[in-house]
Structure 1
Amino acid sequence: MKVQLLTPPPIIADYVSSIVVLENNSMFYEAVLPLIANGYPSITFQLTDPARVLCAGKKSDHLVLYGQNIAPIRLHTAGEITVIAYFLHPYMLQSLLGYEAKELTGLGIDLSLSGLAREINLKEQLLNTTSLNARLELMNGYVQQLSQRNRIRVNEPITYATRLIQKNKGTILLMDLQKELYITERTLQRKFEQHIGLTPKMYSRICQFNAALQQLNRNRFSDMTGVALENGYADQSHLIRAFKEFTTYSPLEYIKQAENFPG
């Protein structure tokens, strides 16, 4: 599996945090690609061979808007695979696309049927070209047009809180955050659910786990105890419990699944 992490062009960087491209041209059997919670909603173009996906009811839409998720989203793939994911800043979902974030939590909706994407036939344009650069230009243009069409209004306190939680990799005390923002615990929770789609506690836990997961991937899953402590977990067992919650696998099972997925 070829993986590319791309920096969004400046014209859409206020709306898109990162772009990830996954490509595999040699998938001869069906496999499941788990999309693990990372704290970001996404606009995703996903292309696979539907004729080789044997599981009934597991066919995927080509252009999907994913909200926040806790459990992994299971993308059934086979044949040629292309996934282009534009991860939005978590506080941009409502301003950019008009959806209250909590409406999409745990869901993926067919974006090709709504609003601007339908007007410009975005899905058809993406399907009618095989060039990655052309597809990226189409996706960039779509986000740019969304920003021009909509009056972008973000909730400043929640934007600040989200960035601070990210910066501290989920380990900031929420009580300190409430005091800094001069808001109650209930108000912070309500606004997070509206604009982010998760409670601040769950969002913090996802940020914390992803920081640990990235470090484990860099370390080839060595020194679990050290990684746990560096990322605010009390011990290795607490990290393993978080691992099972967000991936449904133990670390050893996760490694085995990753090894079995065609490279």
Structure 2
Amino acid sequence: MNVTFPLPPAHLTEFVQRILVIENVRVVTPFKLPLYANGTPTLVFQTAKGQIKGYSTHLTLFGQTVRPETLSLQNDFTLIAYFFKPFVLGPLFGVAAQELTDHPIALDLLESSKVATLMEQLLHAPSTRAMLILIDHYIYSLVVQAKMDLRLIEFATASILKNTNPAVLQTVQNKLGLTERTFQRMFENHIGISPNQYRRICQFNSAFQQLQQRKFDNLADIAFKHEYADQSHFIRSFKEFTGIRPTDYLNFGRP
């Protein structure tokens, strides 16, 4: 058995903390690898299928491991583990981190076709070095996509913040060249709410700031400036997000 810690390539260090390689393990009795809390999501590949939580796989994605766990292997194997930085699960794998806490998942359940190709290549790789290169390339493809997604969502949120008119959503979607469903999913994954809900919150917040500064003659002025349909529309929106009417807010602290 040979244990090494190759350095992550420079283009992955923003997301990968370290790499562990355990090569050429000869298994006589079942090999049990203890897994303890380490604060890092981890991608683990073994040339022999490993048993964990009742399922068997070659490629496993771990979230945070809080409770101790064991990876069991029955056959000779080489194991490669990529330890990620704590924030990686959402940006790279598109999964809510909490879903994987103490619940590792076979990677092919997240994106079956791409992972199936990777697994086939890994199982037929001529050397450990070749395996590392394959995993590097796979992770880098996720990094490139994640950075592209972040640029898209940054543009979208900034555009909506500047212009909260409902028509801005279609304009931004068209500029990004996205379908309505992809646009919706991008916001849900990165922001946690729909594009329209984000727009409505930006619209409310902008109007709320004007109300706080008392730079208006009447509520209709605020409604008009921030492109609400009318004063009643603004009042309904204000109450939705604060639980009170604008006049009640303005009267706070007054005798």
TM-score normalised per structure 1: 0.52
Q: Is the 8 A contact 2:49 2:56 kept in 1?
A: no
Match of 1:142 in 2: 138
Pairs within 5 Å for 1:149-160: 149-151=145-147
Q: Tell me if 1:89 matches 2:55.
A: no
Distance 1:56 1:125 in 2: 23
2:120 match: 124
Shift of 1:35: 1.5
Q: Deviations over 1:108-146 (max 9, x none)?
A: 111123337636611111111241011000000001000
Match 2:97 to one of 98, 101, 111 = 101
- Structure 1: give runs of 5+ residues left out of the alignment: 155-194, 196-263
After superposition, the CA RMSD in angstroms is 2.8
Q: Which amino acid aligns with 1:110?
A: A
Distance 1:95 1:128 in 2: 29
Q: Give distance in 1, aligned partners of 2:10 and 2:32.
A: 33
Contact 1:112 1:122 in 2 (8 A): no
Describe the superposition over 1:165-186 as per-residue Cα deviations: whole angstroms up to 9, x where unpaired: xxxxxxxxxxxxxxxxxxxxxx
Alignment-derived partner of residue 76 in structure 1: 72
Bigger Rg, structure 1 or 2: 2
Shift of 1:23: 2.3
**Preserved CA contact (<8 Å) 2:49 2:58:** no
1:235-246 equivalence runs, <5 A: none
Aligned twin of 1:39: 39
Superimposed CA distance per residue, residues 172-213 of structure 1 (whole angstroms, 9 cap, x where no aligned partner)? xxxxxxxxxxxxxxxxxxxxxxx9xxxxxxxxxxxxxxxxxx
After TM superposition, the score normalised by the length of structure 2 is 0.53
In structure 2, how many angstroms separate the alpha carbons of the residues matched to 1:20 and 1:56? 19
- SS of 1:38's partner is coil
The SS at the match of 2:26 is strand
Query: Tell me, what secondary structure is at the counterpart of 2:64?
Result: coil
2-structure distance, mates of 1:150, 1:112: 19
Change (3 A) 1:15 1:31: same
One-letter code of the match for 2:48?
T
User: Kindly tell me: are residues 26 and 116 of structure 1, through their superposed partners in 2, closer, same or farther at Cα, counting changes over 3 Å?
Assistant: closer
Distance 1:119 1:57 in 2: 21
Percentage of identical aligned residues:
36
Q: Which residues of 2 match residues 219-234 of structure 1 at below 5 A?
A: none
Q: What is the match of residue 250 of structure 1?
A: none
Q: What's 1:113 paired with?
A: 109
Secondary structure at the counterpart of residue 27 of structure 2:
strand
SS in structure 2 at match of 1:151: helix
Aligned residues: 152
**Higher RCO (C-alpha 8 Å, min separation 6):** 1
Give the Å deviation of 1:81: 1.9
Unmatched runs of 5 consecutive residues or more in structure 2: 151-189, 191-255
